[in-house]
Chains A and B, each alone.
Chain A
């Protein structure tokens, strides 16, 4: 039996981009079709995700996270190498693969002129699935969309559109769930509820591929981490080990505080419009938190590791 849900075997993805042709004879064509340039979005990437596991892809902007999601969901295909999903080659069996996948991404918005429920039902019908109505109700309730399920998506705010998109992907209960920055544009409460729902599907043994810029989210949800930068795979790691190892090496946390009061701290990294960013060594966290308690702040967010530091750390290594 196939034990891997996703296998990338030396996958390279090239996008055409603006650029002149190398062959001067083709120059007249350039004025009609100016995309003779090439950009390598992925460079010979190989990794595997076991069935039932959750893998988080982290990397800075332009690293290739969304390209990986699109390759797995058979929207695009690799120039070289192979993508296998549940043992099937994406080039040979795209529709069979798509039947087992649901994807949430900003690039796959809902139909604005349909209601949330109609959007979900349309996706389910094309997947050939009957919806688990109880689970759908739970998903909509958790995401705060139960009262808005019969409203047209076009009237929704950005955050609500993201929630509706997540609801569509989750409600299908797919074998493989692809979430491309699911928690971006969501408030703290919605983030927690989305995390709860993702954890429910994890318990049911579904495989999940998730991208994010934030290590905290990945740490909460993922079993494994794939670290990429500018189309190159920097490595795959077990989340716990990775966080422990890197945290120990980097050895500081970032604290984001929002306050109208002036905050004094020797660890202050930068401040702007009431937002204070503190870079505190791990050995001084308790001491610094005691210092901060006396201030009247409205919001606090502690980030154990910044993505930039992680990538820098890995490249140094």
Chain B
């Protein structure tokens, strides 16, 4: 017997704001978080466009002995997770008395690796790399740091599924709860924003070069899109069994109704239509819902020519004549990659809770495929109770989540 899985807390640190309220306002206002970073030109970047956010200063919040093991992305993840736990009403005592799990999406630790290798090459003495480097450099750095800081005692695992990592983390957490293996899991995704982490991405010409107007560069589904803009930060959700939430009197915000996944079994970087479509259909099947129950689709659409085109085809193939609003919040945030699947659930939650759909910025002209979807370029004031969120990644990994309002 599958158990119901509910969402009871959220926390976020992104280019749209340092907490839920700031992010809600940015979404409502349709504010872009994208800037031009001249320092990237000095590093030889083809595109110097990036989301902008400050690394939080946790001195005085966490001890030196905690911070020394944390790379940039773990700092973001700490802030987001603290907010999410507080939001869910989970305190230290609860964490001590229960086996709360942790599944977090992350797929790089480039800056930490680079720094330690640079030191090794320069000093020719591995001791000089310091004690923090190994823990900062492992791909599981976020989960190892968060689990120790918050004293988590359940499953402790990093999910590396490229740009679908955060979404898979939530989906897999929901499965563990559904089958009674965990009562409560902290899920999320983190993404480093430093230039070193995405230089190689720039190198394959994946980024928009519309540098003259940074806020216009990320334009998912628009006919004239020319690539993605990298972003990052961290997003955390607290999910738990319905019984657990009721027992502790938690604020029940929504229900994770469906998780679909698939692999394209195709090209390493070029997405196809069949894989995403199967992920969408699996999520719908698992949720037991009809397509007409879906009030809003948060697309993966990153503003790349092929990716957006094939996602538009996949959505159209599944939804046909029923056309709920489809937007990509990446038009405001850029592509938050390992974090995106989690952050976009939170963006969609904030919209669902507050009765609006943020505009798909820069959607000025459709192409032949996006013309078949209902993509608003202005904010829509609309109450909806169910959304679907897509996340796709390199290697053809796909994840789809369906979330229902319970407030």
Q: Are A and B co-members of a single complex?
A: no
Residues in chain A within 8 A of chain B (CB atoms): none
Residues in chain B within 8 A of chain A (CB atoms): none
